[in-house]
Structure 1
């Protein structure tokens, strides 16, 4: 039997005046320290009125988000942020749901998620995913340690259909493989006609074109966001004779302490470009004060385990529900 709410609360649309309270709420409600520490950039990333940079807008189109808050005695005690799929507007995403620890198990989460479903359905959504919506996401799905969120998803009829994971690179030791000097690798690449360097604003167009044609719109948009932004960066491998982009590695596009995406042209694989670009980025992140870096939504586990001594430390369940 469902537990009856013990407090009176209301749900209303998120507005800019709620912003400071939502950030403070997420600092308290995100139980994992690595998430709580980045509450403000996470909310900024997922906020429905986030300004989309022009170079990203041209890749994935305007961001279409929703936001709702649960108020108890006028104070924000719960929030849900969602968005329409960039590839398919009939697919909606719940990007964040959080309830203050003191107000859990009182119906706020259920009410917020139910209203988010209704709001998305009114915009033509026929399926809702509890999963990241690249290029704007803060998690691939629900971290398995967020047990209340998993229980809520199951209670409202969501079905688990995928699993994703992040890997962690430890940057505390200068002797870590993650921080290995790349000078010799870069000299070797130079003899093969490949230059490795930091990306700058004039590189954005070529980078987006390469990432879009090779890996898709989401990676292209994430790569574009890593150039010229605070707490973000990107490194490139280009062919000297014609300047063609052969590979890239980005960080800070989704969260300040996260690495990715990264990709190498199929014709250039095997040259050591990926490991070189990865380590250049990780050195940047260590210089910025990060002692641990998450490699988000990882595909090639063996590569990161070898090149950066990275370990799988976060596992996420991804859920879906059809109307």
Structure 2
């Protein structure tokens, strides 16, 4: 799984996505840490939960959540495994296809741009075509296994960040 590079300065000034009815995207808040990290561990595994915990170590948090009917249905992180990195990100399987993944990606990338980054790296990409389409990401040659080389995985290696 290669890494990909995104030119943050080439993102639209006001990214738009087509979210399903009643879904909102916002930054996670510190009081939600245990709830959010527990949901991520149950839904996506311990590895991603570890990265998500790091997203709560700054203010504002480096995590966006998708909320539907008062419940978390997706998340995205940035600057957790390494500065300048986007991910991990995930959407509850029952909520996919409603624009949530796209909205989370754009929210995180926009936050990175606003923090002063010119580029973002998406590490260990699974759905490369998605990142190409939504953010104009391009593959970084010879980037496999990248920063995750030699990492301990308590559960099967997750596909894509």
Q: Give the shorter-chain TM-score range.
A: 0.7 to 0.9
Higher relative contact order (CA 8 A, sep 6+): 2
- 1:316 maps to 144
What TM-score does the superposition give when structure 1 sets the normalisation length? 0.42
For residues 107 and 126 of structure 2, the distance between their equivalents in structure 1, rounded to whole angstroms, comes to: 20
Task: For structure 1, list consecutive stretches of 5 or more residues without a partner in the other structure.
Answer: 1-163
Q: Residue deviations 1:45-84, cap 9 Å, x none?
A: xxxxxxxxxxxxxxxxxxxxxxxxxxxxxxxxxxxxxxxx
- 2:103 maps to 276
Query: Is the CA contact 1:166–1:295 (under 8 Å) kept in the aligned structure 2?
Result: yes
Offset of residue 232 of structure 1: 5.9
- 2:29 maps to 200
**What is the aligned-residue RMSD (CA, Å)?**
2.0
Structure ID, larger Rg? 1
More strand by share: 1
Q: How many residues align?
A: 146
- 2:154 maps to none
Query: Is the CA contact 1:257–1:292 (under 8 Å) kept in the aligned structure 2?
Result: yes
Query: Is the CA contact 1:232–1:256 (under 8 Å) kept in the aligned structure 2?
Result: no
- 1:289 maps to 116
- 2:93 maps to 266
For residues 296 and 305 of structure 1, the distance between their equivalents in structure 2, rounded to whole angstroms, comes to: 14
Instruction: Give the alignment partner of residue 67 of structure 2, picking from 238, 259, 262.
Output: 238
Q: Residue deviations 1:145-164, cap 9 Å, x none?
A: xxxxxxxxxxxxxxxxxxx3
Runs of at least 4 residues off by over 4 Å: none
What TM-score does the superposition give when structure 2 sets the normalisation length? 0.82
Q: Residue deviations 1:194-217, cap 9 Å, x none?
A: 221110101211211211111100
- 2:10 maps to 173
Query: Is the CA contact 2:27–2:61 (under 8 Å) kept in the aligned structure 1?
Result: no
Q: Residue deviations 1:152-207, cap 9 Å, x none?
A: xxxxxxxxxxxx310011112354xxx6523x63xx43xx2222111010121121
Q: Residue deviations 1:222-254, cap 9 Å, x none?
A: 1121124269611001122xx221000000111
Alignment of 1:1-323 (within 5 A): 164-175=1-12, 181-182=15-16, 185=18, 188-189=19-20, 192-229=21-58, 233-240=62-69, 243-314=70-141, 315-317=143-145
